Structure 1
Amino acid sequence: MKVITERITVSTRGFNDIIDITGEVESVVKKHQVKNGNVTVFVSGSTAGVTTIEYEPGLLKDLPEAFERIAPMGRRYHHDSRWGDDNGYAHVRASILGASLTVPFSDGKLLLGTWQQIVVVDFDNRPRTRNLVIQIIGE
């Protein structure tokens, strides 16, 4: 069994920016020629998350709107009072979404659904460079 760890970076605009990273993850798996296993994608930081969606215009609007209902930007959070950075909502959203995702692969191909893509969602209130850890476990 092999364990391979790589890092990639993505530039985001913040404010619910949704970046499709499926191609980058596929490239890392293919590069290392591991046939079967799992790949984990982890975003470092507490104001972004990783998930899968159908990367299409409707969902690119629906997902941020859903998070706005759950943890709205326009209210005060205790975190804002402590640090003064006015991104408490981003921390709450990222905690709900989660910082990592594991996808199985077989014969070197991710076992995603037909319309399923891997995305990183940056909730912060400013543009960021996000560091992602891609870890492959397999043979």
Structure 2
Amino acid sequence: MAIFRRILELDGTAGTDIHEVTGQVAEVAAASGLAQGLVSVFTPGSTAAVTTIEHESGALSDLRRLLEDLAPAAGEYAHNLRWGDGNGYSHLRAALLGPSLTVPLEGGRPLSGTWQQIVVLDFDNRPRRRQVVVSVVGE
């Protein structure tokens, strides 16, 4: 069993950034030279997440609205009282979606549905440079 790893870098703003990384993940999988296995997409930190969605304006708008309904940016959070950084909502949004995603690798390509794209969401309330660790494990 072999392991291949690359780190992607993403620049964010002070809003809910949604970075579509499907093509970059496929490039890492191809560069690995592996045919079958798993692809892991992971973002370190507690204010970002990884998931899949149809990357089109309507679905993205709906996702942003849902997250705002669940964890409003202007809400009251004990985290904000303790640290004074105002990003309590971003920690909750990240916790709801999680920091990683695992996708099967078949024929050297990550498997996905026709309208399913891999996205990294940056929820923090200040610009950040995010790392995304893409690991391919297989043979």
Query: TM-score category by the smaller chain?
Result: over 0.9
- Residue 137 in 1 paired to residue 132 in 2? no
Which aligned runs of 4 or more in structure 1 are off by greater than 3 angstroms? none
| Percent identity of paired positions between Structure 1 and Structure 2 | 49
Alignment correspondent of 1:60: 60
Match of 1:48 in 2: 48
Matches within 5 A, 1:1-139: 1-139=1-139
Give the total of aligned pairs: 139
Structure 2 residue identity aligned to 1:63:
L
1:15 aligns to what SS in structure 2?
coil
The Cα shift of 1:14 comes to 3.6
Instruction: Point out where structure 1 has 5 or more consecutive residues left out of the alignment.
Output: none
Counterpart CA distance in 1 for 2:124 and 2:101 is 20
- What stretches of structure 2 of length at least 5 have no aligned partner? none
TM-score normalized with structure 1 length: 0.97
Distance 1:13 1:103 in 2: 27
Worse overlay, 126-135 or 82-91: 126-135
**One-letter code aligned to 2:47:** T
RMSD of the TM alignment (CA)? 0.8
Question: Under a length normalisation based on structure 2, what TM-score does the superposition of the two structures give?
Answer: 0.97
